[in-house]
């Protein structure tokens, strides 16, 4: 095993519940996988929705499979484009987050809450956590060497589960700050 962690850029995207998928795309609709993602069982779908805020709108990809609840993950730049105050949160923590409207080909949904800026995080298997000497929920720093824009990302949440694959996720604003296009390698520093 390498001492480095794969760092991936997670662009803006939407997770939808089964019920909301049917409202947006029609009764009985199923997502069409387009591209497998690094996390086992996760994929970018062919389907997109338009996310509409008070100031603007952005067409976003849906990531599958469906989830228990619908959420929209954006960067702070995207939040400004939409005109919403998206809080910085871990994925799934959408209580009292920003509202938006989702528009699909067959219907639309007014989300009273659900828009967040996802905290940067590292997915790990328990064996990875043991190797790196970290625990689930621990906050670490990650040093990334790039040409002229090397950076240390602090406040990175470690997420440990049996169904994860080792990868750190940052949003497009963070990737731009470090000059990362696509992927990079990072070193965990405590």
Domain 120-189: state its class: mainly beta
Q: What is the DSSP string of 123-165?
A: EE-HHHHHHHT--TT-EEEEEE--TTT-EEEEEEEEEE-TT--
* Confidence tier at 1 by pLDDT (50, 70, 90): very low
Characterise 76 by phi-psi region: left (phi > 0), alpha (psi -120 to 50), beta (else): alpha
| pLDDT tens profile 43-79 | 999 999 999 999 999 999 999 999 999 999 999 999 9
Nearest alpha carbon to residue 108 among 7, 1, 20: 20
Which residue pairs, CB below 8 angstroms and at least 24 apart, start in 92-97? 94/69, 97/71
Domain edges within the chain: 12-118, 120-189
Q: pTM of the full predicted structure?
A: 0.94
């Amino acid at each position: 095993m390498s001492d480095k962690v794969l760092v991936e850029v997670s662009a803006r995207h939407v997770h939808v519940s089964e019920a909301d998928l049917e409202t947006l795309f029609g009764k009985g609709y199923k997502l069409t996988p387009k591209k497998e993602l690094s996390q086992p069982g996760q994929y970018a779908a062919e389907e997109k929705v338009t996310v509409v805020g008070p100031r603007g709108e952005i067409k976003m990809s849906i990531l599958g499979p469906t989830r228990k609840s619908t959420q929209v993950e954006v960067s702070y730049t995207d939040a400004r484009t939409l005109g919403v105050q998206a809080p910085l949160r871990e994925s799934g923590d959408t209580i009292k987050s920003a509202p938006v409207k989702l528009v699909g080909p067959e219907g639309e949904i007014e989300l009273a809450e659900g828009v967040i800026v996802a905290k940067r995080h590292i997915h790990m298997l328990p064996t990875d956590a043991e190797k790196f000497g970290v625990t689930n929920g621990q906050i670490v720093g990650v040093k990334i060497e790039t040409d002229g824009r090397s950076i240390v990302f602090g406040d990175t949440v470690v997420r440990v589960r049996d169904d994860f694959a080792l990868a750190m996720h940052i949003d497009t604003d963070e990737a731009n700050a470090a000059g990362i296009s696509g992927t990079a390698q990072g070193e965990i520093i405590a």
